[in-house]
Amino acid sequence: MTSPRFIPVSEPDIGELEVRYVTEAVRSGWVSSIGPFVERFESDFAKFCQVKHAIAVSNGTTALHVALLALGVGPGDEVIIPDLTFVATGNAVLYCGAKPVLVDVSPDTWCIDPAEVEKAITTRTKVILPVHLYGHPADMDALLALARPRKIAVLEDAAEAHGAKCRGKVVGGIGDIGCFSFYGNKILTTGEGGMVTTNDDHLAARVRFLKDHAMDPKRRYFHPEVGYNYRMTNIQAALGCAQLERADELLAKRRGVMDAYREGLAGLDGVQLNPHASWADPVPWMVCLVQDRVPADVLAARLRDQGIDTRPFFVPMHELPTFRSALALALPQADRLAGRGLNLPMAASLDADCVSGILRPVRSALSAL
Ligand SMILES: *Cc1c(COP(=O)(O)O)cnc(C)c1O
């Protein structure tokens, strides 16, 4: 029998505050990218990340593109990225005409492995681009120790990790520049949207310039370089301001959901949920189940029959046709995780009953051998 309710893998938590701010933005007539909510969202987000500058952009992919451009990345440069990530990370490197270098992830964090990064560094390496995958921070201290003496920049892809901490420091402000996404399935959403964060005044000014058609700040309609329209609208920012005011609440609810999953799956041998390194304060973006008992696609089909939506892990970049020519080292960890991983539903709005309703068929599928 099919369950009467469909549980999506992810769902935004939109409340009265969001409705109020968005209505206010629409009523004010400031519907495009000029308006008070954009500035407020930027300054509130900078505080949230404990960083000097936050620049709102149209989405997480454009955030990555403009951040790489601000770092001066172009043809001939190599950018080191993890093999296991969403395609946007690698695409942003391709947009710049640079070469992505695919590096394996660490089994402790599922993020780029600093020891593998060290092997991949060449004289052409311009940027190391760690991704704080599924809400767990990459080991930023180890990466910065490799990058700093070699004058290599570090760009954090924090699209999945709003508010996560690495040894007490909030992600997005640890490397030279950081990027966030506010897509509908992310921890905080603006529908579509993104943010670039940095403590560097020069990088901040370059991002502001490039994301708004590279217009000379002193001469209107004079554009000395090719720029982009990567702006966020005031309506999106209104939604973002409300989400950000509720960030503690949304994160606490998600932590409760993650704890319920951990309790419910405790005691099943060979079944792993999201990693949690001792030095890290991860945030729960997706619930990630990695196991050897049942093929991930079989488990996904069983759950779909019960009205429970899931997602496979990201396909490693080295399997994508557009990244075939990328440079790559051996990638066993990315392959292992991608082959066995499945994302289970996670949303701030999931209650304990819902989670036990999901865990019942998961446990029975994993136990019936
Ligand atoms: C979501 C995501 C992006 C891209 O964000 P969009 O806002 O969808 O463009 C980039 N990197 C990672 C790791 C993501 O998960």
Q: Is 194 in the pocket of ligand 1 (CB under 6 A)?
A: yes
The answer to whether the CB of 56 falls within 8 A of the CB of 193 is: yes
Where residue 244 falls (left for φ over 0; alpha for ψ -120 to 50; beta otherwise) is alpha
If we measure between CA atoms, which residue out of 222, 13, 210 comes closest to residue 96? Answer: 210
Residue 131, ligand 1, Cβ within 6 A: yes
Say yes or no to pLDDT of 3 above 60.
Answer: no
d(CA 271, CA 30): 50
114: nearest Cα among 169, 152, 61: 152
- Give me the residue label for tokens 């865990």: 359
Span 304-319, average pLDDT: 96
Q: Rounded to an integer, what distance in angstroms lies between the CA atom of residue 77 and that of residue 123?
A: 9
Whether the pLDDT of residue 4 is over 70: the answer is no
Return mean pLDDT, the chain.
Answer: 96
Is pLDDT at 18 greater than 50 in this prediction? yes
CA of 186 to the centre of ligand 1 (A): 9
In sign, the C-alpha dihedral spanning 312, 318, 320, 323 is positive
Q: In the predicted model, what is the mean pLDDT of residues 294-316?
A: 96
Q: Quick one: average pLDDT of 283-290?
A: 97
Q: Is the CB of 60 under 6 A from ligand 1?
A: yes
Does the beta carbon of 157 sit less than 6 angstroms from any atom of ligand 1? yes
**Residue-wise pLDDT tens digits, 51-66:** 999 999 999 999 999 9
198 lines ligand 1 (CB under 6 A): no
Q: Give the chain as a 3 state SS string.
A: CCCCCCECCECCCCCHHHHHHHHHHHHHCCCCCCCHHHHHHHHHHHHHCCCCEEEEECCHHHHHHHHHHHCCCCCCCEEEEECCCCHHHHHHHHHCCCEEEEECECCCCCCECHHHHHHHCCCCEEEECCECHHHCCCCHHHHHHHHHHHCCEEEEECCCCCCCEECCEECCCCCCEEEEECECCCCCCCECCEEEEECCHHHHHHHHHHHECCCCCCCCCCCCCCCCECCCCHHHHHHHHHHHHCHHHHHHHHHHHHHHHHHHHCCCCCEECCCCCCCEECCCCCEEEEECCCCHHHHHHHHHHCCECCEECCCCHHHCHHHCCCEECCCHHHHHHHHHEEEECECCCCCHHHHHHHHHHHHHHHHCC
**pLDDT per position as a tens digit, 27-81:** 999 999 999 999 999 999 999 999 999 999 999 999 999 999 999 999 999 999 9
Mean pLDDT, residues 338-358: 94
Q: How far apart, in whole angstroms, are the C-alpha atoms of residue 173 and residue 50?
A: 7
Q: Ligand 1 within 6 A of 85 CB?
A: yes
Which atom in ligand 1 lies closest to the alpha carbon of residue 182?
7
Judged against a pLDDT cut of 80, whether residue 1 lies above it is answered with: no
Q: Who contacts 37 (Cβ-Cβ below 8 Å, separation ≥6)?
A: 21, 25, 30, 234, 235, 237, 238, 240, 241
Half-sphere exposure of 291 (CA within 13 A, CB side): 27
Give 366 Cα–ligand 1 centroid separation in angstroms. 31
Quote the tokens at residue 263: 């309790």
Task: Output the residue whose Cα is nearest ligand 1's atom 4.
Answer: 60
Instruction: Report the distance separating Cα 166 and Cα 122, nearest Å.
Output: 26
Task: Please say if the pLDDT value at position 120 is more than 80.
Answer: yes
- Cα(185) to centroid of ligand 1, in Å? 10
Q: 5: pLDDT confidence band, cut at 50, 70 and 90? A: confident
Is 177 a pocket residue for ligand 1 (Cβ < 6 Å)? Answer: no
User: Which pLDDT belongs to residue 367?
Assistant: 86
Question: Does residue 143 have its Cβ closer than 6 Å to ligand 1?
Answer: no
What CA–CA distances, in Å, run from 200 to 173, 178, 197, 205?
10, 11, 9, 9
Task: Say if ligand 1 is within 6 A of residue 86 CB.
Answer: yes
Q: Residue 186: CB partners within 8 Å, gap ≥ 6?
A: 60, 159, 160, 162, 180, 285
| Residue 344 CA, ligand 1 centroid: distance in Å | 19
Q: How confident is the model over 155-214, as pLDDT tens digits? A: 999 999 999 999 999 999 999 999 999 999 999 999 999 999 999 999 999 999 999 999
CB distance 214 to 205 below 8 Å: no
**60 C-alpha vs ligand 1 centroid, how far in Å?**
5
Mutate to test the pocket of ligand 1, among 9, 57, 61, 185 (most ligand atoms within 8 A of CB): 61
Task: Give percent of the chain with pLDDT exceeding 70.
Answer: 98
181 in contact with ligand 1, CB cutoff 6 A = yes
pLDDT of residue 241: 98
- Cα-to-centroid distance, 53 and ligand 1 (Å): 20
Which pLDDT belongs to residue 175? 98
For residue range 215-252, list pLDDT tens digits in order. 999 999 999 999 999 999 999 999 999 999 999 999 99
How far apart (Å, rounded) are the C-alpha atoms in residues 303 and 9? 11
pLDDT score of 368 = 67
User: Which of 169, 198, 190, 257 is closest to 66 using CA atoms?
Assistant: 198
Query: Is the pTM above the cut of 0.95?
Result: yes
